[in-house]
Structure 1
């Protein structure tokens, strides 16, 4: 079919829908990063583990909700883009806030003091497995949190993407069985 509409196997239902999906994903990521810089950290205290546990629980709930949204979406592959645009930046912001809080509680937790930008930069280098070495965890707590981020980053890239794309495939199969395409002659 020509024009802006494609079948779902063509990875989309049209250029407008794809653009809207990408825009929503970009907006979610942008809002999370802006929110990261606006969240007050003046009262950083040793309750970093509690904060991290709560934040990761919220992240897990968001991930589950996104999988359910993909399954029930009429355009599941586009919904995956939106889900990844929310879940991955949310994970990065959670760890960046944790590193920034750790840096405020213990200035020697890393090889250099971390401000918010440094914490976000460090988080992205760990997630991307670049590990430039200019900032490194020194304290046991910082190393444990960094190791946890590495493991969750691998899970996020592998398992979450697989689950979301599996959910998209399941939803596409469901949709196709409910609305079969006319056979070509």
Structure 2
């Protein structure tokens, strides 16, 4: 008998990512990017970090740490990207011309993904100081997410596998 992952482990991250993208497109975003929006960006990233740290504990204590790690990344990465896409969208609404092309929600998400993937097609570039600062912050966070976070997730998986496979001392 094969050790197949539970259906929920596959459906849950897909449903979560889908719900986040739907929320991004459907929720009203009428506010402009202000000091409050900048604070919200920082608080959103801090909340994402806390969520990530909580999920690391869940990975290392899971009976299926690899699967739990995939679930963690399938939730954390889309949320991270949508936080930045929302920020770019609101910034463009507040300061039109912050980017070389006007950004609607899809354009903001596209720009976020090109920065994240380091493809940088050059069709949309940050032109205002605020847009460049936020883009540099995303680039820095991207490196941390891909490098440091990936290593931390691998470490949590290794801990979970050791814990799962350790001989039990039942006496």
Q: TM-score, normalised on structure 1? A: 0.86
Q: Give per-residue Cα distances to partners, 1:38-91, cap 9 Å, x unaligned.
A: 222112241331121111111111111111111121111000000000110010
The unaligned stretches of length 5 or more in structure 1 are 6-13, 181-185
For residues 13-162 of structure 1, what are the structure 2 equivalents within 5 Å? 14=4, 16-17=5-6, 19-47=7-35, 48-162=37-151
For residues 161-180 of structure 1, what are the structure 2 equivalents within 5 Å? 161-179=150-168
Q: 1: CA distance between counterparts of 2:46 and 2:104?
A: 25
Greater RCO (CA < 8 Å, at least 6 residues apart): 2
Cα RMSD over matched residues? 1.5
The unaligned stretches of length 5 or more in structure 2 are none
Q: Give per-residue Cα distances to partners, 1:115-165, cap 9 Å, x unaligned.
A: 101000100111011101111000111001001111111111111111111
For the 8 Å contact 2:98–2:126, the answer to whether it is kept is yes
Q: 2: CA distance between counterparts of 1:157 and 1:40?
A: 30
Aligned residue pairs total: 168
Q: TM-score, normalised on structure 2? A: 0.92
Q: 2: CA distance between counterparts of 1:22 and 1:57?
A: 26
4+ runs deviating over 6 angstroms: none
